[in-house]
A and B are shown apart, each in its own frame.
Chain A
Amino acid sequence: MSLLRKCWAFVRKDFLTDVSYRLAFAGQLVFTFFMVAAFYFFARMFEGHEIASLAPYGGAYFPFVLVGVAFSSYLGVAIRSFADTIRNAQVLGTLEALLVTPTPVGQVIVLSSVYDFLATSLRVVVTLAFGVFIFGVRFPDANWTGALLVLLLTIVSFSFLGVLSAGVVLAFKRADPSSWLVQGLSYLLGGVYYPVSVLPGWGQTLAQILPITHALEAMRRLLLTGASLAEVSGSLLGLIIFSAAAGPVSLLVFWAALRRVRREGSLSQF
């Protein structure tokens, strides 16, 4: 109960801060619309053509890329949010004030990121809503329950990458270059804009170690073709294995970084 109330306090604080920059808040909505519209017109180039690599996802490019773009935004926020929380608090000078309370540092960092995940969820809903209500995408057979489960698993697995990045930022006071590498590889090989099957063999193999590949594969098949959870069990297993491997490593790196900055006395330095 106490954790939920603390979570609410963080969400409220971040919401109040966010809406105090009204123009930026509205700007995000406008940007989302432009992005969806751009992909809609891009997709019109393929209208009337049958694309074999899109067949497992219903055959049409616009719904394919709409789901890819919408849900890949979780990767960006998961990787950036934890590290940004620390970096911003270091720069703004609030980190030490947060850490001299009895709330454990792990809780502070996770709870500081909740608003980002909620805002991203809202952006995902808005992105899909633009697709549905303005550009006519339909999800007639969607398995929404399965999609929700995959979403939770996706957030968990992506978050471990974020925790790893947060550890690096904590220790070295710089943006973590490996997070850019993971993000870059994810957009290149993870099937955000095009199916993984169009990649060369090495690319397809490498794509299998990226959690986004499994997340988008499962999400598209659940939403666009109404697949059952059993039918996407391979992708679910991929996400579970990634989380099981990355979870302990990322937590270990984060706690080692925290110990290091406490020893060095550099917690609030930037």
Chain B
Amino acid sequence: MPAIELRAVRKRFTQPRPLSAILRHPLRFERIQVLDGVDLSVPRGSLTGLLGPNGAGKTTLLRILAGSISPDAGELSLLGIDALRHPRRALGKLGVVLGDERSFFWRLTAEQNLQFFAALHDLHGKAAKQRIRELAQRFGLEGELGKAFRNLSTGWRHRLALARALLHDPEVLLMDEPTSGLDPGAAERACGFIAEQLVAKMGKTVLLATHKLDEARQICDRLALLARGHILYQGSASEALARTSELYADRAEEPA
């Protein structure tokens, strides 16, 4: 049984229009097809990269998996759980690392942030403290726990986001551009950490959305190429990398 399985997932968004356009044509809606029948299978214990250019639909796909966007059609299974019918159960098995570092409470310390999010996963009291200590040790965060989130560097914030996603010890992790905002050295260390700690040592399944080819090449054992709403290829990283030119085939006229 794969860790994540998507079948024929479709998603179309209605484009916001200026008031003048709404007044001229109130019933004309402009829609864009972001995902058009996506089939994706992520094996357990793999580090799968979801590679695609900006706007390919990677974040939408992750948000559908995380339950914050409903698909128009399709099936979604997470460790055998129908994620559309039982979203809460599915979320209990899933850790989400958001690319957005604003997703913490800036006036609280790192530890207070983790305690709060632990409670949302039904981890309280001693059990929560123990889990936070374990994760802090693993992520080298011990010295940072007492600091206000606003005083942490971007690198530490990224680690804290990883620790938060692992509070409830999920089997599957979704990561959206996990190295965005990091300098090249920090990004390389973060990538190494994901591959060595999360996947090799802890045995997690990771689905990582990125538009960075180097990052995907460096750590992913499998790749899924997403463009124009379709998965163009999914399988071994080496074969996928030979086909990456297809990802950018229709983007020559876009602004740099």
Contact = CB atoms under 8 A, between A and B. Distances in A.
B68 A6 contact: no
B189 interface: no
Interface stretch (A12-20, A32-40, A71-79, A242-250): A12-20
Given A5-B119, A6-B120, A97 B13 contact: no
Contacts of B115: 9
B37 interface: no
A93 B72 CA distance: 25
A110 B128 CA distance: 23
B104 A99 contact: no
B112 A16 contact: yes
A104 interface: yes
A264 B14 CA distance: 7
B98 A2 contact: no
Interface in A1-46: 2, 5-6, 8-10, 12-13, 16-17, 20-21
A96 B174 CA distance: 14
Interface residue SS majority, chain A? helix
A16 B70 contact: no
B102 A17 contact: no
Contacts of B44: none
A92 B117 CA distance: 16
Interface in B1-26: 11, 13-14
Nearest to B112: A16
A263 interface: yes
Contact of B69 (A10, A93, A103, A267): A267
Interface bin, chain A:
20 to 34
A96 B120 contact: no
A24 to B, nearest CB: 12
A13 B63 contact: no
A96 B122 contact: no
B133 interface: no
Contacts of B85: none
B66 interface: yes
A101 B102 contact: no
Given A12-B116, A13-B112, A92-B102, 17 more contacts: A5-B125, A6-B119, A9-B119, A9-B120, A10-B119, A20-B107, A92-B106, A93-B100, A93-B102, A93-B103, A94-B104, A94-B105, A97-B96, A97-B117, A103-B121, A264-B14, A267-B68
Given A20-B107, A100-B96, A101-B91, A262 B68 contact: yes
A100 B104 contact: no
Interface string B225-254: 000000000000000000000000000000
Interface string B33-73: 00000000000000000000000000010010011111010
Given A9-B119, A98-B120, A265 B105 contact: no
Interface bin, chain B:
35 or more
A48 interface: no
B88 interface: yes
B146 interface: no
B129 interface: no
Contact of B70 (A2, A17, A99, A263): A263
A268 interface: yes
A97 B117 CA distance: 9
B103 A97 contact: yes
A8 B120 CA distance: 11
B124 A5 contact: yes
A16 B105 CA distance: 10
B105 A13 contact: yes
A21 B108 CA distance: 12
Nearest to A103: B120
A102 interface: yes
A16 to B, nearest CB: 6
Contacts of A99: 67-68
23 contacts: A2-B124, A6-B119, A9-B124, A10-B119, A12-B116, A20-B107, A21-B107, A92-B102, A96-B98, A96-B100, A97-B98, A99-B67, A100-B94, A101-B91, A101-B121, A102-B89, A102-B92, A102-B120, A108-B120, A264-B13, A265-B60, A265-B63, A267-B68
